[in-house]
């Protein structure tokens, strides 16, 4: 009886176990089959991302400033190499490897051995030719050879002009993402959309090329065409190199703008960097100081005060201004000129850059009007030419935040912070007959197939001053470069130049001291038909000279002459100027 009961219980347990196992088998085979089939597939299959070809960055003429170059990863399948004694030395030679590098460690059982990375297209072509020759020879001897070299295409970013234009173009990080300049600002449009490929792997996780297949091809990035002119950019870079050698300054900025369109034709800074050596670039050098570094402009800001005072009919070019023999007390402080001037006309006040004269022009305007015109000239507004670059809007406090002294200091470029691009825009207003054009760095976009995707047209933003006022202001600025002005060294033979010098004392510990200056010159030519505005700002030049007329003006003369030639602007003798412009 006990034996029968024991047998019965055994049968029950067996039946129960069979039922559980059967149920689980049904689950595995039917219910969970898709899940485990997918896991099995993933175990011997893998997805490889296929990088898109990053779009180029080109100048206004289509000359490459940044481009992606195809390079290759080269692997060797030892199983398919039928004559290693002859083939390996040749591979070492083609890849630039030392003798015995491959032959000394070759194993026929080793498949897909990495030989080299970032191999150029020329070398890959030679490797392919060599492989084909070997395969043909093996076939003639009755063998059935298979390819023994595998190539995987990659892309590296190349900057053909090295440091030239680096502050604008920018560079990529190690993962191929833009970290500065145009590369960062338009990273999404340039990088395109990566594709993917599914491959099958062997038991060691290596790709089996015969099972390779495409799932989605990459979509290459678009090419961005800038307004930058590489010839003009080269002129700026060489000019800044000369300034750097002569004055060893802390920094230098230079901008060239076409006033009639707002196009930025050139932009350079020092210190700079070589984007081809991105791994060793210090983050401090990545800043485009023309956009990110606001500074007190000093006397070049007087162009704003001049335009406002003329437009508001506060003065004419011949209005006399008492410059108090070089010492003017206002709001409990004494303002000095570099030379003791008596009564000067507004034209002469501009030519000699009298601080007292411009302080009086500002006082006559009043805080509200001066502030309004400064804003209209583009002060305290970011240009927006490179999104996401940390561009500064500068500092221009609202009138209610001004002290009693401010109205005598802001007109001559103190208590206000501007970026170089803002000052170039402000001068472009006068050069363009009083019209403020939206600054442009991007001219358009081009598809990977070479089709035009978009064109960015010049955009008129607002009228700041009348055309007549701009003409009067231009005549006053021409006197700066004429005999007796502070900017005579900015003169360009064959052209009439309009411009303004600047020598800004840098504030140290809340007060202005001697020894640290920003020397600058901003101007345009020809004065009667301006083709470009050129700004040069030299931060803390070393040596005996620090005035803008001595440091920046000579550099302007040399660089402007070359830019005019590059743009095809024909020089002519400067026409005689009337001494009297007429009452306003």
Coil, strand, or helix at residue 310? helix
- HEC string of 329-379? EECCEEEECCCCCCEEEHHHHHHHCCHHHHHHHHHHHCHHHHHHHHHHCCC
Q: Which CATH architecture has domain 230-566?
A: 3-Layer(aba) Sandwich (3.40)
Instruction: Note the pLDDT tens digit of each residue in 129-175.
Output: 888 888 888 888 777 778 888 888 888 899 999 999 999 999 999 88
Q: Is the pLDDT of residue 311 over 70?
A: yes
Q: What is the DSSP secondary structure assignment for residue 394, as one 8-state letter?
A: -
H runs (alpha helix) in 436-504: 467-481
Q: How far does Cα 425 stand from its chain's mean position?
A: 18
CA angle 498, 521, 482 (to 5 degrees): 40
Confidence (pLDDT) at 575: 47
Q: What is the dihedral of CA 19, 21, 25, 26, to 10 degrees?
A: 20
48-95+108-203 against 230-566: fold identical = no
Contacts of 80 (CB under 8 A, 6+ apart): 145, 146, 147, 148
Among residues of the chain, what percentage have pLDDT more than 70?
Answer: 87
In this predicted structure, what is the pLDDT of residue 583?
A: 34
- Domain spans, the chain: 48-95+108-203, 230-566
pLDDT exceeds cutoff 90 at 392: yes
Is beta strand 223-226 parallel, antiparallel or unpaired with respect to 57-58?
Answer: parallel
Q: Is the pLDDT of residue 503 over 90?
A: yes
Among 323-337, 529-543, 552-566, the least confident range: 323-337
Check residues 489 and 120 and name the one with the higher pLDDT.
Answer: 489
In this prediction, residues 67-78 reach a mean pLDDT of: 86
Long-range contacts of residues 37-45, Cβ cutoff 8 Å, at least 24 apart: 44/200, 44/201, 44/202, 45/198, 45/199, 45/200, 45/201
* Residues noted as catalytic: 299
Average pLDDT over residues 257-280: 94
Average pLDDT, the chain: 87
pLDDT given for residue 578 in this prediction: 39
CATH topology of domain 48-95+108-203: Penicillin-binding protein 2a (Domain 2) (3.90.1310)
Higher confidence at residue 462 or residue 506? 462
Q: What are residue 116's phi and psi, to 5 degrees?
A: -165, 155
Q: What is the rounded CA–CA span in Å between residue 507 and residue 504?
A: 9
pLDDT at residue number 580 = 37
Helix (H, G, I), strand (E, B) or coil at 283: helix
The listed range with the strongest mean pLDDT (148-152, 203-207, 549-553) is 549-553
Q: Could you give the count of Cα atoms lying within 13 Å of 215 in the half-sphere of its Cβ?
A: 12
More confident residue, 121 or 259: 259
| pLDDT surpasses 80 at 521 | yes
Say if residue 405's pLDDT is above 80: yes
For 235-268, how does the pLDDT look when each residue is reduced to its tens digit (9 = 90+)?
999 999 999 999 999 999 999 999 999 999 999 9
Start-to-end Cα distance in the chain: 132
Mean of the pLDDT values across residues 117-125? 87
Beta bridge partners of residue 271, listed in sequence order: none
pLDDT by residue (tens digit) across 315-371?
A: 999 999 999 998 999 998 999 998 999 999 999 999 999 999 999 999 999 999 999
Which sign does the torsion angle of CA 294, 296, 297, 303 carry? Answer: positive
Residues 458-497 pLDDT 10s: 999 999 999 999 999 999 999 999 999 999 999 999 999 9
Angle between helices 355-365 and 302-311 in degrees, nearest 10: 50
User: Is 191's pLDDT higher than 70?
Assistant: yes
Tell me the average pLDDT across 67-77: 87
**What's residue 390's pLDDT?**
86
Instruction: Write phi, then psi, for 157 (nearest 5 degrees).
Output: -85, 130
Q: What pLDDT, on the 0 to 100 scale, is given for residue 229?
A: 97
Q: b or e along 59-73 (b: 16 or more beta carbons within 10 Å of the residue's beta carbon)?
A: bbeeeebbbbeebbe
Q: What angle do CA 511, 502, 556 make, to 5 degrees?
A: 145
Residue 487 in contact with residue 523, Cβ under 8 Å?
A: yes
Return the pLDDT at 513. Answer: 67
Q: What is the pLDDT of residue 119?
A: 85
Q: What is the DSSP code (8-state) at residue 29?
A: I
Asked if residue 509 has pLDDT above 70, the reply is no
In order of 92, 326, 469, the CA distances from 314 in angstroms are: 81, 22, 12
pLDDT digits (tens, 9 = 90+) for 1-51: 567 777 776 777 777 667 666 666 666 566 655 655 555 555 566 667 777
């Amino acid at each position: 009886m006990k034996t029968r009961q024991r047998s019965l219980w055994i049968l029950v347990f067996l039946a129960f176990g069979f039922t559980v196992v059967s149920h689980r088998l049904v689950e595995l085979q039917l219910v969970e089959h898709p899940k485990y089939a997918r896991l099995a597939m993933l175990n011997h299959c893998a997805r490889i991302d296929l990088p898109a070809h990053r779009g180029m960055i080109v100048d206004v003429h289509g000359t490459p400033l940044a481009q992606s170059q195809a390079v290759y990863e080269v692997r060797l399948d030892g199983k398919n190499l039928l004559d290693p004694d002859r083939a390996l030395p040749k591979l070492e030679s083609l890849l630039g490897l030392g003798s015995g590098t491959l032959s000394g460690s070759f194993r026929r059982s080793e498949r897909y051995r990495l030989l080299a990375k970032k191999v150029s297209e020329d070398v890959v072509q030679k490797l392919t030719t060599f492989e084909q020759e070997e395969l043909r020879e093996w076939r003639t001897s009755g063998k059935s050879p298979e390819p023994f070299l595998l190539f995987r295409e990659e892309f590296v970013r190349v900057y053909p002009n090295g440091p030239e234009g680096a502050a604008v173009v920018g560079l990529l990080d190690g993962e191929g993402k833009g970290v500065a300049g145009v590369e960062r600002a338009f990273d999404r449009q340039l990088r395109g959309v990566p594709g993917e490929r599914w491959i099958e792997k062997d038991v060691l996780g290596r790709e089996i090329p015969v099972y390779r297949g495409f799932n989605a091809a990459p979509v290459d990035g678009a090419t961005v065409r800038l307004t930058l002119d590489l010839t003009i950019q080269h002129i700026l870079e060489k000019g800044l190199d000369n300034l750097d050698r002569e004055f060893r300054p802390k920094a230098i900025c230079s901008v060239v703008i076409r006033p009639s369109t707002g196009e930025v034709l050139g932009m350079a800074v020092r210190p700079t960097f070589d984007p081809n050596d991105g791994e060793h670039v210090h983050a401090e050098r990545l800043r485009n100081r023309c956009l990110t570094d606001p500074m007190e402009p000093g006397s070049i800001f007087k162009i704003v005060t001049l335009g406002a005072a003329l437009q508001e009919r506060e003065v004419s070019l011949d209005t006399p201004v008492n410059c108090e023999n070089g010492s003017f007390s206002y709001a409990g402080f004494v303002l000095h000129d570099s030379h003791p001037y008596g009564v000067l006309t507004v034209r002469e006040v501009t030519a000699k850059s009298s601080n007292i004269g411009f302080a009086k022009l500002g006082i006559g305007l009043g805080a509200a009007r001066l502030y309004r015109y400064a804003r209209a000239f583009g002060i305290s507004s970011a240009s927006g030419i490179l999104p996401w670059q940390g561009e500064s809007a500068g500092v221009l406090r609202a009138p209610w935040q001004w002290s009693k002294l401010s109205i005598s200091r802001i007109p001559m470029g103190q208590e206000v912070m501007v970026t170089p691009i803002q000052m170039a825009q402000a001068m472009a207003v006068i050069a363009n007959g009083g019209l403020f054009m939206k600054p442009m760095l991007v001219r358009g976009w081009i598809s990977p197939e070479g089709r035009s995707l978009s064109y960015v047209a010049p955009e008129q933003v607002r009228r700041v001053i009348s055309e007549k006022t701009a003409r009067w202001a231009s005549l006053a600025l021409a006197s700066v470069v004429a005999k007796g002005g502070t900017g005579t060294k900015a003169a360009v033979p064959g052209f009439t130049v309009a411009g303004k010098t600047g020598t800004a004392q840098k504030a140290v510990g809340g007060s202005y001291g001697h020894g640290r200056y920003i020397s600058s010159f901003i101007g345009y030519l020809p004065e009667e038909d301006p083709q470009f505005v050129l700004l040069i700002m030299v931060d803390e030049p070393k040596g005996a000279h620090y005035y803008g007329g001595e440091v920046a003006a000579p550099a302007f003369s040399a660089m402007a002459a070359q830019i005019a030639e590059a743009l095809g602007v024909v020089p002519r003798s400067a026409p005689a100027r009337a001494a009297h412009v007429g009452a306003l």
